[in-house]
RNA sequence: GGGCGGCUAGCUCAGCUGGUUAGAGCGCCUGGUUUACACCCAGGAGGUCGGGGGUUCGAACCCCUCGCCGCCCACCA
């Protein structure tokens, strides 16, 4: 006997263990099975499961469970990302909290060892949390981006790209994060609106003939100015081009140059040029071969290139000092407050500085070509399609990708430097030394590059490195390219684009056929969830409170494509109730000994009600299947909900009661079998979204030869759809539903059991109603059918059949009059609209014939019911 | 400045390539101890589909325009 309700707390972990131990998460070895693979977007190893992960991984799990049941060799490959900066931060913070010495004092080797220790202790949290969600990943294939295999792939890719001149070392401006003291890529820079000032400074002309005014929001950079630019056509300044100004404070003469970059409409029209500390100025500096003076040290303090009085000052202190100096010199020409966007490091949160350093770059432009083409010609399709625009936009304007990071945790760059600075790029130190020997003619000591690679460099290889590349493994042959990638739009640039580039370059094939972009989760008010706002919803707490299934169903149902998801517990509660509803339906079946014998062939069922629910089941299965094929997860969830609750529970099980409680044994047997068979089918169809409750019911409602997780997906023949049964049952449903509304509106007590009078129906309809009299009796609470009109009965129409309920003694005349008037008004509106349409010659001439015909039938039907209602109203008036 | 998405019932959202009276869940109101289920059952109220214009026999859906809301990219003179 099933318990009163499903206990998720005790059942879910038990079932997950059962699945995992049964080995069903690994793809089948059946060579005939079509491979279907997904690689997980590897969460940061430092991470814990947040609600976004819950959504993303639920959708992946729905898809992989669906494919597994369909018989595919379904592989969901899990793993984690070493997450350079994030992880290094966590461990450094931990060291600090424990009062230990810092990273720099520890030294590189000891620190990295400490990070590995940390990883061993607490790095697996997110994998455990994914299990609680029910994620059916193949844990035997779990990968980590710093694993030996993946590291080897990274080195090989680096060396190959270097050899192909697609990786190179360059001295240019980078975004420098002074807190972490590392370069970061453009994508890791986040613009934040802050309050600041425009300071207007006068630079005196060297010959004393006047001054030129420039404006800046970063006064400290003037210490590194090497020119002032004006527009060549700016009449105010043409006479000054070629002259010099004497840079205040510093005292250096710098030229006034002509460059289009200067915009006559902005400020004074003259702009200070600081090539070493501004991206635009850098280009101007290159054009004019200006000196590049770097005045900042790695922590953004003024270095030895600044005036003595400023050395060692933090950039913001230096800013104040520079402004004060200008004021003291009488050269401050104005200050305005401005609110402007300032670049910040997305991890560190501090203002980043354009900074002149040597770094490694990937020639992204070249790699982007094939990646753009693959999406253009549809080898890879984004879902929803509009994200392709975003992808193209970025890919077509891509900049060189700075891949070196001045960190310790990550893949160390496989480049070695000789005593003369010559670079040897090789996969191993031995190879580098050998190359050095060949070059120098003797053994020379080489020093490996201190830097590590951007975390996203290894992630870019994820779809093939995790399958064993560069080895030609059977997994690689079988599961690459992967089928679908499910991820968030926030990492289309960071990750998806780069996987496309690397995948195509190294394997010749796009790494996935389809990229499904899932929405972003917000709180019930629409705010982005963040710890600082305190509005985060912890998925594990939600699992504790409601179970994994309701959370999964909620996320699936709300995964509509084009929008942010606002999550509320009310919704989760609703789907918890849905699970309970299913549980109780199963209890009902159990109570009524509903089991489907192995020999049961639903197609041979003869009962009208059974043939009807069979057809509905086929239709529901079609809908769910089609929706999941198309990643229309919300549509699948809606179809399941409707079918299970509104068709199976509300109608079919109610219809079955008179039979199950009756004495017609053959009918009883068929209904028992059908009820059980449909329930079984429901468990299968619902399993991808609600795996736990369905697996539990599967095991408790019948003798099973296998787990539900590997049961075959329902593939039901259309021939099982019986349109006649569907039409017949629509009549029964209509008679009951409309009749109930009449009773309720007229406040007829439930105890009243009048007969149901069938006023006007054709013989076939009468037969249907007669055959279902027991159902109608029970559900409409009437006492049998009568086929003779009685005066004073309250009429209603359903499915074109006229019914009446003799309930005169209960009714309030005024209420009934109001009801009829309202009904008539409703019909009148529709009749007017439809007849107007049919009177329109253009409509008749241009609308398709079937639409015209539909409207004709509709009009006739409405007019008939209106007449009936009017007659009834007239009779009522006569009584009163 | 460039681009994207959204604006449909009190709330959260469905409504595919234009064609019945625009739907669901939650909430609300009314009535229910019908032996699967009160995490339930039955019924009900509630929307000029952001505004305006256009195309069309016909527009929530297509076009134009305006208005909000959100996001992405660029911008620190």
Q: Is the pLDDT of residue A174 over 70?
A: yes
Nucleotides of B under 7 A from a protein CB: 3-6, 11-15, 19-21, 24-27, 30-32, 34, 36-37, 39-44, 56-58, 69-77
Is the C-beta atom of A833 closer than 7 angstroms to strand B? yes
Is the C-beta atom of A263 closer than 7 angstroms to strand B? yes
User: What mean pLDDT comes out for the span A528-540?
Assistant: 67
Q: What is the rounded average pLDDT for all residues in chain A?
A: 88
Q: How far apart are CA A397 and CA A505, in angstroms?
A: 19
Distance of CA A191 to the CA centre of its chain: 23
Contact in structure between A734 and A802 (CB atoms under 8 Å): no
Of A320-329, A466-475, A530-539, A788-797, give the lowest mean pLDDT range. A530-539
Q: What are phi and psi of A162, to 5 degrees?
A: -65, -45
Enumerate residues 6+ apart whose C-beta is below 8 A from A827. Answer: A862, A865, A866, A869
Q: What are phi and psi of A128, to 5 degrees?
A: -65, -35
Q: What is the pLDDT of residues A176-191, one digit of tens each?
A: 998 888 888 888 888 8
Q: How far apart are CA A121 and CA A45, in angstroms?
A: 11
Q: What is the pLDDT of residues A388-441, one digit of tens each?
A: 888 888 888 888 898 999 988 899 999 999 888 889 999 999 998 998 888 888
pLDDT more than 70, % of chain A: 97
| H-helix or E-strand spanning residue A191 | strand A189-204
Q: How far apart are CA A395 and CA A374, in angstroms?
A: 12
User: What mean pLDDT comes out for the span A4-16?
Assistant: 92
Six token digits for residue A389: 């625009």
Instruction: Report the distance from CA of residue A389 to the C1' of nucleotide B63 in Å, as an integer.
Output: 22
Q: What is the pLDDT of residues A415-427, one digit of tens each?
A: 999 888 889 999 9
- pLDDT, residue A790, reads 79
Considering all nucleic acid strands, name the nucleotide whose C1' atom is nearest to the C-alpha of residue A6: B39
Instruction: Report the distance from CA of residue A225 to the C1' of nucleotide B12 in Å, as an integer.
Output: 56
Q: pLDDT band for position A511 (50/70/90)?
A: very high
Of A242-251, A479-488, A641-650, A802-811, give the lowest mean pLDDT range. A802-811
Question: Which pTM does this prediction carry?
Answer: 0.90
Give how far Cα A527 sits from Cα of A504, A567, A793, Å.
38, 11, 57
- pLDDT, residue A864, reads 76
- pLDDT, residue A510, reads 93
Q: Is the pLDDT of residue A535 over 70?
A: no
Q: Is the pLDDT of residue A624 over 80?
A: yes
Six token digits for residue A279: 């991206």
Q: Is the pLDDT of residue A525 over 60?
A: no
Q: What is the pLDDT of residues A135-172, one digit of tens each?
A: 999 999 999 999 999 999 999 999 999 999 999 999 88
Considering all nucleic acid strands, name the nucleotide whose C1' atom is nearest to the C-alpha of residue A278: B76
- pLDDT, residue A668, reads 92
- pLDDT, residue A796, reads 84
Mode of pairing for the β-strands spanning A270-273 and A227-230: antiparallel
Q: What percent of chain A is helix, strand and coil (3-state, nearest 5)? A: 50, 15, 30
Q: Is the pLDDT of residue A524 over 70?
A: no
Give how far Cα A406 sits from Cα of A155, A182, A221, A412, A498, Å.
18, 5, 24, 10, 21
Q: What is the pLDDT of residues A227-253, one digit of tens each?
A: 998 888 888 888 888 888 898 888 889
Instruction: Please count the other Cβ atoms lying within 10 Å of the Cβ belonging to residue A645.
Output: 15
Is the C-beta atom of A740 closer than 7 angstroms to strand B? yes
Q: Exposed/middle/buried for A845, CB within 10 Å: 0-12, 13-18, 19+? A: exposed
Is the C-beta atom of A160 closer than 7 angstroms to strand B? no
Give how far Cα A2 sits from Cα of A585, A678, A877, Å.
11, 18, 56
Q: How far apart are CA A192 and CA A178, in angstroms?
A: 17
Q: What is the pLDDT of residues A819-869, one digit of tens each?
A: 777 777 777 777 777 777 777 777 877 887 777 877 787 777 777 777 777
Q: What are phi and psi of A498, to 5 degrees?
A: -75, -30
Contact in structure between A819 and A745 (CB atoms under 8 Å): yes
Q: What is the pLDDT of residues A793-807, one digit of tens each?
A: 888 888 888 888 888
Q: Is the pLDDT of residue A209 over 70?
A: yes
Q: Is the pLDDT of residue A562 over 70?
A: no
User: What mean pLDDT comes out for the span A558-573?
Assistant: 76
């Amino acid at each position: 006997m099933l318990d009163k309700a499903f206990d998720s707390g005790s059942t879910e972990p038990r079932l997950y263990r059962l699945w995992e131990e049964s080995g069903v998460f690994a793809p089948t070895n059946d060579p005939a099975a079509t491979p279907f693979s997904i690689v997980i977007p590897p969460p940061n190893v430092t991470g814990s499961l947040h609600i976004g992960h819950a959504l993303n991984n639920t959708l992946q799990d729905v898809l992989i469970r669906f494919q597994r049941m369909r018989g595919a060799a379904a592989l969901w490959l899990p793993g984690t990302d070493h997450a350079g900066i994030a992880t290094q931060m966590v461990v450094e913070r931990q060291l600090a909290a424990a009062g230990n010495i810092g990273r720099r004092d520890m030294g590189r080797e000891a620190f990295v060892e400490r990070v590995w220790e940390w990883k061993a202790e607490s790095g697996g949290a997110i994998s455990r949390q994914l299990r609680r969600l029910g994620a059916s990943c193949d844990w035997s294939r779990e990968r980590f981006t710093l694993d030996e295999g993946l590291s080897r792939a990274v080195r090989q890719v680096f060396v190959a790209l270097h050899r192909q001149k697609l990786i190179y070392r360059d001295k240019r401006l980078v975004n420098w994060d002074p807190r972490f003291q590392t370069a970061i890529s453009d994508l890791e820079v986040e613009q934040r609106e802050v309050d600041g000032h425009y300071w207007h400074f006068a630079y005196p002309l060297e010959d004393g003939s006047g001054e030129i005014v420039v404006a800046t929001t970063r006064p400290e950079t003037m210490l590194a100015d090497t020119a002032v630019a004006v527009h060549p056509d700016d009449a105010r300044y043409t006479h000054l081009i070629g002259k010099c100004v004497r840079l205040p404070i510093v005292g250096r003469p710098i030229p006034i140059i002509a460059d289009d970059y200067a915009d006559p409409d902005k400020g004074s029209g003259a702009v200070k040029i600081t090539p070493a500390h501004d991206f635009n100025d850098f280009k101007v500096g290159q054009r004019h071969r200006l000196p590049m003076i770097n005045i900042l040290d790695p922590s953004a303090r003024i270095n030895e290139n600044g005036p003595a009085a400023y050395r060692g000052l933090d950039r913001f202190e230096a800013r104040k000092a520079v402004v004060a100096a200008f004021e003291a010199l009488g050269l401050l020409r104005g200050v305005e407050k401005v609110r402007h966007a300032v670049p910040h490091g997305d991890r560190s949160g501090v203002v980043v500085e354009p900074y002149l350093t040597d770094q490694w770059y990937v020639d992204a432009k070249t790699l982007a070509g094939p990646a753009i083409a693959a999406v253009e010609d549809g080898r890879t399709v984004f879902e929803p399609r509009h994200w392709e625009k975003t992808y193209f936009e970025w890919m077509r304007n891509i900049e060189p990708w700075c891949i070196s990071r001045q960190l310790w945790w990550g893949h160390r760059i496989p480049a070695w430097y000789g005593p003369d600075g010559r670079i040897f790029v090789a996969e191993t130190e031995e190879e580098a030394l050998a190359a050095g020997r060949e070059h120098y003619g003797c053994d020379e000591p080489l020093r490996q590059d201190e830097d590590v690679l951007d975390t996203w460099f290894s992630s870019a290889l994820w779809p093939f490195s995790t399958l064993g590349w560069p080895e030609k493994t059977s997994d690689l042959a079988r599961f690459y390219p992967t089928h679908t990638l499910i991820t968030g739009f926030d990492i289309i640039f960071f990750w998806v684009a780069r996987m496309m580039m690397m995948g195509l370059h190294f394997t010749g094939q796009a790494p996935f056929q389809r990229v499904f972009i899932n929405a972003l989760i917000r709180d019930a008010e629409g705010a982005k969830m963040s710890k600082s706002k305190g509005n985060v919803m912890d998925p594990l707490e939600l699992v504790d409170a409601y179970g994994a299934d309701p959370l999964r169903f909620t996320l699936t149902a709300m995964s509509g494509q084009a929008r942010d998801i606002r999550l509320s517990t009310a919704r989760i509660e609703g789907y918890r109730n849905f699970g309970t509803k299913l549980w109780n339906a199963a209890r009902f079946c159990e109570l009524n000994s509903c089991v489907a014998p192995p020999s049961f062939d639903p197609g041979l069922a003869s009962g009208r009600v059974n043939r009807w629910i069979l057809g509905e089941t086929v239709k529901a299965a079609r809908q769910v299947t089609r929706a999941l094929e198309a990643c229309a997860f919300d549509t699948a969830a809606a179809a399941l909900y409707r079918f299970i609750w509104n068709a199976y529970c509300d109608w079919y099980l109610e219809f079955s009661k008179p039979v199950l409680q009756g004495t017609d044994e053959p009918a009883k047997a068929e209904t028992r079998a059908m009820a059980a068979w449909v329930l079984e089918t429901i468990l299968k169809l619902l399993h991808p979204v609600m795996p736990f409750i369905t697996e539990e019911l599967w095991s408790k409602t019948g003798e099973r030869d296998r787990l539900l997780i590997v049961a075959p997906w329902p593939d039901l023949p259309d021939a099982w759809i019986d349109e006649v049964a569907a039409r017949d049952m629509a009549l029964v449903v209509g008679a009951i539903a409309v009749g109930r509304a009449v009773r309720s509106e007229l406040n007829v007590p439930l105890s009243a059991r009048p007969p149901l009078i069938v006023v006007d129906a054709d013989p076939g309809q009468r037969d249907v109603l007669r055959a279902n009299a027991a159902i109608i009796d029970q559900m409409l609470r009437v006492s049998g059918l009568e086929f003779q009109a009685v005066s004073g009965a309250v009429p209603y129409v359903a499915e074109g059949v006229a019914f009446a309920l003799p309930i005169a003694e209960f009714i309030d005349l005024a209420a009934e009059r109001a009801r009829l008037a309202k009904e008539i008004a409703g019909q009148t509106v529709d009749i007017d609209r439809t007849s107007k349409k049919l009177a329109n010659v253009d409509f008749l001439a241009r609308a398709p014939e079937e639409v015209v015909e539909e409207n004709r039938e509709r009009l006739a039907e409405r007019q008939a019911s209106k007449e009936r209602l009017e007659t009834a109203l007239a009779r009522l008036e006569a009584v009163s």
